[in-house]
Amino acid sequence: QSVLTQPPSVSGAPGERVTISCTGSSSDIGAGYDVQWYQQFPGSAPKLLIYGNSNRPSGVPDRFSASTSGASASLAITGLQAEDEADYYCQSFDSSLSASEVFGGGTKLTVL
Amino acid sequence: QVTLKESGPALVEPTETLTLTCTFSGFSLSAPGMHVSWIRQPPGKALEWLARIDWDDDKFYNTSLKSRLALSKHTSKNQVVLTMTDIIPVDTATYYCARMEDDHGLDVWGQGTTVTVSS
């Protein structure tokens, strides 16, 4: 069971805006640790989408944005495209007994 | 260009020790702020962070697996080695290594290597 909780699936039509939530606790996101987001296509390695809560690496379209609030984070994708259909994972640091990096359980985005 | 590539056995028997090597290029693990992590993903399941080694040789492990994991780096060979003891079938997964620079996320990943645990 992941420390960071994500919805198993979300969906949206092309052109729409979708958000993916990542709920943590006072020992991870709520403690101020940075959140990263990754995109993964079937059979491929994950790709970094967002680092440091809201920063996009070079080459990531500005359709992807993210934010944090309290012990939660969210990834927003605007102008949804068929090519955005993938799995998305949040990641942060857990300072509790586990004291390690942690990933969310992942969210499957389906473009209708 | 930064690249990482994982290598190791495709099939491991239960109770054996798994040794995986991450060979990288395009950066130095001796450079301040540089880190290499290992992450795994069982078939059809989520990513699981395993361990990280830093430029100053600090090492961090997934607490639930800490007793079974060990990391080492061979700077001259540009390699990071992960060993996992007492392998069991639930360790079947694709194992990735990835780089992080200055806490800017895992920005470059290897292609992954698939390990099956079976007798």
List, for residues B4-32, the tens digit of each pLDDT value: 999 999 999 999 999 999 999 999 999 99
Average pLDDT across chain A, whole number: 94
Distance from C-alpha of A11 to C-alpha of A54, rounded to nearest angstrom: 22
Q: Report phi then psi at A30, rounded to 5.
A: -65, -20
Whether A97 shows a pLDDT value over 70: the answer reads: no
Q: Identify from B24, B47, B60 which residue to disrupt to test chain A contact, counting A C-beta atoms within 10 A and taking the largest count.
A: B47
Q: Using a CB–CB cutoff of 8 Å, tell me whether A9 touches chain B.
A: no
What pLDDT score was predicted for residue A98?
A: 63
pLDDT > 90 in chain A, percent:
88
Distance from C-alpha of B117 to C-alpha of B26, rounded to nearest angstrom: 32
Looking at A10-19, A36-45, B70-79, B89-98, which range is the least confident one?
A: B70-79
Question: Cβ of B113: how many Cβ atoms within 10 Å?
Answer: 20
Q: Report CB contact under 8 Å: A51, B52.
A: no
Nearest partner of A90 among A78, A107, A77, judged by Cα? A107
Using 50, 70 and 90 to split pLDDT, how confident is the model at A1?
low
What pLDDT score was predicted for residue B7?
A: 98
What pLDDT score was predicted for residue B52?
A: 94
Which chain A residue lies closest to B45 (C-alpha atoms)? A105
Q: Out of A40, A51, A102, whose CB is closest to B104? A: A51
Whether A22 shows a pLDDT value over 60: the answer reads: yes
Full pLDDT tens readout for chain B, 119 residues = 999 999 999 999 999 999 999 999 999 999 999 999 999 999 999 999 999 999 999 999 998 899 999 999 998 899 999 999 999 999 999 999 999 998 899 999 999 999 999 99
Q: Using a CB–CB cutoff of 8 Å, tell me whether A106 touches chain B.
A: yes
Nearest partner of A90 among A102, A76, A77, A108, judged by Cα? A102
Question: Cβ of A48: how many Cβ atoms within 10 Å?
Answer: 23
How many residues are given for chain A?
A: 112
Whether A99 shows a pLDDT value over 70: the answer reads: no
State whether the Cα torsion A25-A28-A31-A35 is positive or negative.
negative
Distance from C-alpha of B81 to C-alpha of B98, rounded to nearest angstrom: 13
